[in-house]
Amino acid sequence: MVPEINLLPNLEKKKSAPTVVYVLLIVLIGIILGYMIFSYFQAKGDLTKLSAQEVELASQRDQLQIELDVKRNTNKGSLEQSVQFVDNVSYPVSPLIDETQVLLPEQTYLRNYVFGEKDIEIIADFETMSAISSYLDKLTVSSFFNDIQVGTISNFDLSIGDQDEENSMDKFKEMPRYSVTITLAIDYIYLAGGRES
């Protein structure tokens, strides 16, 4: 037998790393890159929304600051205005209140007084239009007032709680009451002299 002698070097390829590892590495890098790109665009969208909210909140803050400054300035002036009003309106009000109450017909109620520099405004509730007319006649004769003006006359129904259908017939039997706003110009000369007994 003839011995085989191979003087050529062994040409077997050695596998340095399997291709599966490279594929997995490429897939992993692709996933990481995809996640980073997704996170970037999501953060960019959130940043846009937050910037818009910041602008909106800043404008609301500025508007509220302006309202607060206006209210603070109004409150500062209110004390000065109050003192000036008291200086201008320095007349006794008790005789005026007494006069408006004494002249009231029965079943009539004074609801409100508003004192001004030259006049007094009263709101009263009357049962009938003739009671309103009678009261206005008495006020015209009164020495405390120069002029009488009727502002508004509105009617309202008296109701207690919820009324059902059976009591609705009773509603038509009731007469409505009238709420009247009257402005009375004050006679300062007579008021300064006081009441004549």
**Domain limits of the chain?**
18-88, 94-158+175-193
DSSP-assigned letter for residue 8: S
Which amino acid, one-letter code, is at 173?
A: K
- Dihedrals phi, psi of 114, to nearest 5 degrees: -130, 115
pLDDT value of position 175 = 65
Reported in sequence order, the residue ranges of the chain that DSSP labels E, i.e. its strands, are 109-115, 119-126, 145-156, 177-186
Give the three-class secondary structure for 33: helix
- Dihedrals phi, psi of 97, to nearest 5 degrees: -65, -45
Other C-beta atoms closer than 10 Å to the C-beta of 126 total 22
Other C-beta atoms closer than 10 Å to the C-beta of 129 total 12
Distance (Å, whole) CA 91 – CA 190: 11
pLDDT value of position 149 = 87
CB 93 within 8 A of CB 115: yes
Query: At which residue do the structure tokens 């009257």 appear?
Result: 182
Strand partners for 113: 122
Name all contacts of 122-125 with Cβ < 8 Å and 24+ positions apart: 122/181, 122/182, 122/184, 123/179, 123/180, 123/181, 123/182, 124/179, 124/180, 124/182, 125/177, 125/178, 125/179, 125/180
* Whole-prediction pTM: 0.49
CB 145 within 8 A of CB 186: yes
pLDDT value of position 157 = 65
pLDDT value of position 171 = 56
Q: What is the pLDDT along the chain (197 residues), one digit of tens a residue?
A: 677 777 777 766 666 667 888 889 999 999 999 999 999 999 999 999 999 999 999 999 999 999 988 887 765 656 677 777 666 667 777 888 888 888 888 878 888 888 887 888 989 888 888 888 888 888 888 888 888 888 888 877 665 555 555 555 555 556 678 888 989 888 877 777 755 54
User: CA 23 → CA 15, 33, 36, 43, 136, distances in Å?
Assistant: 15, 15, 20, 30, 104
Which amino acid, one-letter code, is at 156?
A: F
- Asked: is 94-158+175-193 a CATH 3.30.1360.100 domain? The reply is yes
